[in-house]
């Protein structure tokens, strides 16, 4: 038995490594267990997010967006860039370099904060003991006063299209293509499917996205979702709604996909097929039968509002528990748990967690949609402002999309904040801050925004809630 720790974290993704660092900063003796290995069997920190998720996908999105602009948008702005080409190998090298730098940075942060890093697969036993098994099968058991489970999630595999790692791939495989597919199929028009489809469409793929649901982005405010759909289709993404996949077969180096839509049975051929229908908790071989931790039938660990499990001293955060699978949500929960172990009483405000789709245009939102408020019978006012009327957006050749603010009809408190357009991922933070402090639409309307900026669209949308926008015609209020 090794030395006893105050905290052992299982998993070094955005929930786990943040929890470990915060716990150590609070004076707790902390260790973090991670099984991810590099090709030379060295421990790799950062989890899915840094290694095969958020960071590498955003690197490819940024690079491919620059290529798209240089290929199609520069000439109208007076920039002549002929014969623009993509060096895919160098593009992938750039992506890998960013990942390596960031994951190495976490190792440096562990060292600076006194977090002990343990390499191997962690399994929770009874009484807060953690068994760690290395690559050679050797096991060692550690003991802690508190254990934080932060093992993340993995892509869902569906029976009609099992992964083969070459022709039919998950989101991780889609980040490693060695050439641009001529015809690319994507199963799932969610966040991951749209982002990865956008990357390869910009680089020259003919992309078809098959979505089983009839409503595009059902979790998004539908005014925003419809605006986004029009822009994605204009870019060349063939998005087929109500398409229920029935099978996939690899023949002659092509993936033959069969599906059913409103027109009946359909078939399509692709050079590559990305399956992006969601993710499931990564809880394989994680808990012993006597660990005291309970899971539901889908593998999610039961926790209370403060991420505490039914087992004394055991907590769980991030993708393995209820709520959206978002890296920043996991990090907030990790900090909260570390603080609670140290005796403090913070809470995560789940009503103020932003969501972002990093396409172009970006889609971002926080709070309630109009559809949710209508279903709840709430009275509300809406203010919108298009980027087409924003000088900075026009100057940047990014004048599509809008900002939408929804406020309570009686109190004017902001209930929802929605953006589709340039830098939506940054602009949505203004809505998050406003809602976190209980701001009204009038509070934003009375705030001075710099000119010319994209954020002026927030100001105008807030003004529009009360029918007082300056740079667009206001909707007439019903008497």
From 344, 451, 459, 471, the catalytic residue: 451
CA distance 225 to 237: 15
CA distance 97 to 197: 23
- Cα dihedral: 421, 424, 427, 431 (round 10): 100
Interatomic CA distance for residues 17 and 107, integer angstroms? 10
Cα–Cα distance, 84 to 95 (Å, whole number):
20
Instruction: Please state whether beta strands 121-124 and 116-119 pair in parallel, antiparallel, or not at all (unpaired).
Output: unpaired
> Catalytic annotation on 471?
no
CA distances from 13 to 33, 56, 283, 354, 420 (A): 10, 14, 14, 19, 29
Q: What are phi and psi of 102, to 5 degrees?
A: -70, -40
- Which residue has 């892509």 as its token pair? 155
Helical (H) or strand (E) element with 256: strand 254-261
SS3 446: coil
Give the DSSP letter of residue 184: E
Q: Which DSSP string corresponds to 215-243?
A: SSSTTS-HHHHHHHHHHHHHTT-EEEET-
The backbone torsions φ and ψ at residue 414, rounded to the nearest 5 degrees and listed phi first, read -70, 125
Catalytic residues: 451
């Amino acid at each position: 038995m090794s030395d006893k720790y105050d905290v052992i974290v299982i998993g070094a993704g955005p929930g786990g490594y943040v929890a470990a660092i915060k716990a150590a900063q609070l004076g707790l003796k902390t260790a973090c267990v991670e099984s991810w290995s590099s090709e030379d069997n060295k421990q790799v920190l950062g989890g899915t997010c840094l290694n095969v998720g958020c960071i590498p996908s955003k690197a490819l999105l940024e690079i491919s967006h620059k290529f798209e602009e240089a290929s199609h948008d520069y000439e109208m702005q007076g920039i002549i860039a002929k014969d623009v080409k993509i060096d895919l190998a160098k593009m992938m090298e750039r992506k890998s370099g960013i990942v390596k730098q960031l994951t190495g940075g976490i190792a440096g942060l562990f060292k600076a904060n006194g977090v002990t890093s343990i390499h191997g697969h962690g399994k929770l036993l009874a009484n807060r003991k953690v068994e760690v098994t290395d690559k050679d099968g050797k096991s060692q058991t550690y003991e802690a006063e508190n254990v934080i489970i932060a093992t993340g999630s993995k892509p869902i595999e569906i029976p009609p299209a099992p992964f083969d790692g070459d022709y039919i791939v998950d989101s991780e495989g889609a980040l490693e293509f060695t050439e641009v597919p001529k015809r690319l199929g994507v199963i799932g028009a969610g966040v991951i499917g749209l982002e990865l489809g956008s990357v390869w469409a910009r680089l020259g793929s003919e992309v078809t996205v098959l979505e089983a649901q009839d409503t595009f982005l059902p979790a998004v405010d539908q005014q925003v979702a419809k605006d986004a759909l029009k822009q994605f289709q204009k870019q060349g993404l063939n998005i087929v709604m109500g398409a229920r996949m029935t099978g996939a077969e690899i023949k002659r180096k092509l993936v033959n996909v069969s599906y059913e839509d409103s027109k009946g049975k359909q078939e399509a051929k692709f050079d590559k097929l990305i399956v992006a229908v969601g993710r499931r908790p990564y809880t394989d071989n994680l808990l012993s039968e006597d660990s005291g931790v309970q899971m539901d039938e889908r593998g999610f660990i039961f926790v209370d509002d403060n991420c505490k499990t039914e087992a004394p001293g055991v907590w769980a955060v991030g993708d393995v528990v209820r709520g959206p699978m978002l890296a920043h949500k996991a990090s907030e929960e990790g900090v909260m748990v570390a603080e609670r172990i140290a005796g403090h009483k913070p809470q995560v405000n789940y009503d103020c967690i932003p969501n972002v789709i990093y396409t172009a245009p970006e889609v971002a939102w926080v709070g309630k949609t109009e559809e949710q408020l209508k279903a709840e019978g709430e009275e509300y006012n809406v203010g919108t402002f298009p980027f087409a009327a924003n000088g900075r957006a026009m100057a940047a050749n990014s004048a599509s999309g809008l900002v939408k603010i929804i406020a309570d009809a009686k109190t004017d408190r902001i209930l929802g904040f929605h953006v589709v357009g340039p830098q939506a991922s940054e602009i949505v933070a203004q809505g998050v801050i406003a809602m976190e402090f209980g701001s009204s639409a009038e509070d934003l309307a009375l705030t001075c925004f710099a000119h010319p900026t994209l954020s002026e669209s927030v100001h105008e949308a807030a003004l529009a809630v009360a029918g007082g926008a300056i740079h667009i015609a206001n909707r007439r209020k019903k008497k």
